[in-house]
Amino acid sequence: MKEIILIKGGELVLKGLNRKNFENTLITNIKRKLRDLGQVKIENLQSTITIEPVDEDFDFETALERVSYVFGIAAFSRACICEKTVEDIYAKAPVYLKDTLLNVRSFKVEAKRSDKGFPLKSPEICREVGGILLETFPHLKVDVHNPDLVVTVEVRDRYAFIRAGQLHGAGGLPVGTAGKASILISGGIDSPVAAYTMAKRGLVLNAIHFASPPYTSIRAEQKVKALLSKVAKYSGPINLAIVPFTEIQEEIGKNCPEDYFTLIMRRIMMRIAERISREHHSLALITGESLGQVASQTLPAIVETDSVVNMPVLRPLIGMDKDEIIRISKAIDTFETSILPYEDCCTVFTPKHPKTKPRPGQCEEAEKGLTSMEELISRAIDDTVYSVVE
């Protein structure tokens, strides 16, 4: 009996004339996820993608786990292929479903018949398959309102499929359908969630981290890589740039008004991130800021931060509260890593009374003490270290 994985594409069906491009990207991403599990045949059949193993020792459980992380998939399930005849469907249903049905008490059958030439209509398929299952498994009862298991029979142009239930996918859009952007990642709770959220909308991610040794340790960098590796389960490989920031922060500490330290640091980070992003074909920056969460995330501060760059800054968490962000971080398994006590450069030289409502021109005035800013920025970019996190 030939078993496959069925993939349902969710909002991809709404993409009109561009739908094929989205589906092709999704198939490419699935192939990349499964490439080391053996050869598979992937087809797109009437808004359903099928994954058919070629190798007999194909690891279905690992494949299902990996598929669950692929953005663009609304739901997925194991299924068996039947010939498009009532006889083959009737014969295979109790055999394929045996192990599953022995562990439930109630079920119902649903049928989807895209081939209108099939001799039975959907209600008839449900009645006949349900009757066979009740006869084969006497312990079962039919419950059409709240069954333990939903058995689905799909009749399509070339084949019929039988499946028992389905699992929720990661949703969103396939990574690679929306361009590329750079996430400014610290080591806290917010930025990994922001990265995940934008990858879910189809963005390929680059990442930029600012390191300030000896004020920050190598463990802080390792923490960032660990966080990105968890995001990469969904997004695919992430190019990481680690920017040396110690000299710049020390110059800010020596030459700028203390209450502007955080704002000036953020503005220089944005300048550096923009230059690195343009070199690596990112079209936007992403940050994990949430409006009003800390002093540098007031609206006036955000306006002054954005004013130094000429590319879009995406803030997917801007309207979320901390509880919402933490809930997502736990769901994607970044929370416990994020709270490890390895400080990032954002905590270095933190002012006692940070400026929260800068007026236009005040940040530029506060930066005048940095007479060698351009030289510092260029040196930091030249000394940036690159790697790939998977």
DSSP 260-307: GHHHHHHHHHHHHHHHHHHHTT---EE----TTSSGGGSHHHHHHHHT
Distance CA(296)–CA(198), nearest Å, equals 22
Average pLDDT, the chain: 92
**pLDDT for the residue numbered 226:** 96
Instruction: Decide if pLDDT at 348 tops 80.
Output: no
Query: Which tokens hold the place of 54?
Result: 């070629």
**pLDDT for the residue numbered 389:** 97
- Residue type for 11, please? E
**pLDDT for the residue numbered 107:** 95
Mean pLDDT for the stretch of residues 283-289: 96
**pLDDT for the residue numbered 345:** 64
Tens digits of residue pLDDT in 1-38: 889 999 998 887 777 778 889 999 999 999 999 998 98
**pLDDT for the residue numbered 156:** 87
Q: What angle do CA 21, 26, 31 make, to 5 degrees?
A: 125
Instruction: Decide if pLDDT at 133 tops 90.
Output: yes
**pLDDT for the residue numbered 66:** 96
**pLDDT for the residue numbered 328:** 97
Q: What is the model's pTM?
A: 0.91
**pLDDT for the residue numbered 350:** 74
Contact 209, 221 (CB under 8 A): yes
**pLDDT for the residue numbered 18:** 83
**Beta strand segments in 131-279, E:** 141-142, 149-155, 160-164, 167-171, 180-184, 204-211, 238-244
Q: Name the nearest CA neighbour of 261 among 221, 301, 291.
A: 301
Give Cβ neighbours of residue 249 (< 8 Å, ≥ 6 apart): 212, 215, 265, 345, 348, 349
Tens digits of residue pLDDT in 234-276: 999 999 999 999 999 999 988 988 888 989 999 999 999 999 9
Instruction: Decide if pLDDT at 83 tops 80.
Output: yes
Residue % of the chain over a pLDDT of 70: 98
Instruction: Decide if pLDDT at 80 tops 90.
Output: yes
Say which residue, 215 or 67, is predicted with more confidence: 67
Give Cβ neighbours of residue 386 (< 8 Å, ≥ 6 apart): 239, 240, 241, 242
Alpha-carbon 231 to chain mean position: 6
Mean pLDDT for the stretch of residues 218-235: 95
Distance CA(141)–CA(113), nearest Å, equals 24
Tens digits of residue pLDDT in 316-345: 999 999 999 999 999 999 999 999 877 766
Instruction: Decide if pLDDT at 358 tops 70.
Output: yes
Residue 347: band (very low, low, confident or very high) from pLDDT cuts 50, 70, 90: low
Alpha-carbon 280 to chain mean position: 21
Exposed, middle or buried, 112 (CB in 10 Å: 0-12/13-18/19+)?
middle
Residue 153 CA neighbour count, 13 Å, CB half: 34
Tens digits of residue pLDDT in 137-147: 999 999 999 99
Distance CA(226)–CA(242), nearest Å, equals 14
